[in-house]
Amino acid sequence: MKRFLTSAICLSIPFLTWAIVNVIVDPFNYFNIGIFSKDTRASAEGLNQLMYRTIDYVHEPCGNILIGDSRTELLPIKRIEKLTGEKYKKLNTNGTKLNEIFDLFYLAHKREKLKKVVIGVNFNMFNKFGYQDRISGLQRVLDNPLIYIYNKDVAYATYVTIKYLVTKVNVDQKPPMTKEEFWKFTILSKAIDWYGKYEFPAELNKELVEFDNFTHKNNIEVVFIIVPHSNDFHNRLVQFGLSDQERRFKKIMSNLNATVYDFDYRNPITLQKTNFKDPIHYNDSIGNLMVDEIWNHKLSIGKRISTSKD
């Protein structure tokens, strides 16, 4: 029995040590102890933005949120706050799917009654095959500290954070190619990922309507922004024969109670390559332009396509 206890203790030491290290470093600030600065934990945000932003929201809920993927990330939140005089928070991550956006909304709404929700959305999200579920796993992490402590993403983020403390160098996530090379790569490969396999998402459409009805019933203001893509990239949608499906998507969006703005059509933004960092990510000046048009209620390029007057 003594030998068994000794062996058990010896075997548990690495796990206990790792738990202690993760609690101390806490790259996603799960325990909200605040030992390390936000700058020190910046690498963790880059590695798993979804976990980082959600945990941050749990600690400090906010009635106004932006949800979406890396395209929504480019909307200048400080500018929105300046124009509205209200605080906003971003709940987004790279590659967010539309079903995950709804899940994040309900997760946030349980924490605090939401007032305004801004959602970046595009046709590529409205696809039966554009589905992923990372929120249920994230919810288990939020509910159980042990799952967080022994999570593989947390483990890697702890390693990267410790490395940053020693080297002062954050993770470099820039693509290993020139802007022109990345432009061509995105048009070729991303278009295949998004448009190469398409089927009308009946279940997702149902979720969209349920979300729209829920927010309308609960007096939560919702703004959808169909963000611009370069016309070079939109041409690939046309080549895949999805123009009618895109029009159907925008028609569905126009019938929602939510307010919907469309910037993704042939216009001075989409026709000018210099307005984009790559074919699907607009530059800072365009982010500022969209925010100014929407929040100042002075549309010049953007079009309000929603028919609801509420």
Domain ranges of the chain: 2-304
Which pLDDT score is estimated for 308?
A: 62
- Exposed/middle/buried for residue 27 (C-beta within 10 Å: 0-12, 13-18, 19+): buried
Average of per-residue pLDDT across 107-127? 96
User: Poorest-confidence range of 12-21, 100-109, 231-240, 289-298?
Assistant: 12-21
Per-residue pLDDT of 205-261, as tens digits, reads: 999 999 999 999 999 999 999 999 999 999 999 999 999 999 999 999 999 999 999
Give ∠ CA 61-25-104 in degrees, rounded to 5. 30
**pLDDT at res. 17:** 81
* Average pLDDT score over residue span 171-177: 63
Res. 92 pLDDT band, cuts 50 70 90: confident
CATH superfamily ID and name for 2-304: SGNH hydrolase (3.40.50.1110)
115 token code pair? 């007032």
Handedness of CA 83, 298, 123, 248 (dihedral sign): positive
DSSP-H helix ranges across 150-226: 152-167, 179-185, 191-195, 202-217
Model confidence pLDDT, tens digit, residues 188-202: 999 999 999 999 999
Read off the pLDDT of each residue in 24-34 and give the average, rounded to a whole number. 88
If you average pLDDT over every residue of the chain, what do you get?
A: 91
pLDDT at 1 over 60: no
pLDDT at 248: 98
Q: How confident is the model at residue 47 (pLDDT cuts 50, 70, 90)?
A: confident
For 265-279, what is the mean pLDDT?
Answer: 97
8 Å CB contact between 68 and 101: yes
Average pLDDT over residues 260-268: 98
pLDDT band at 309; cut points 50, 70, 90: low
pLDDT at 251: 97
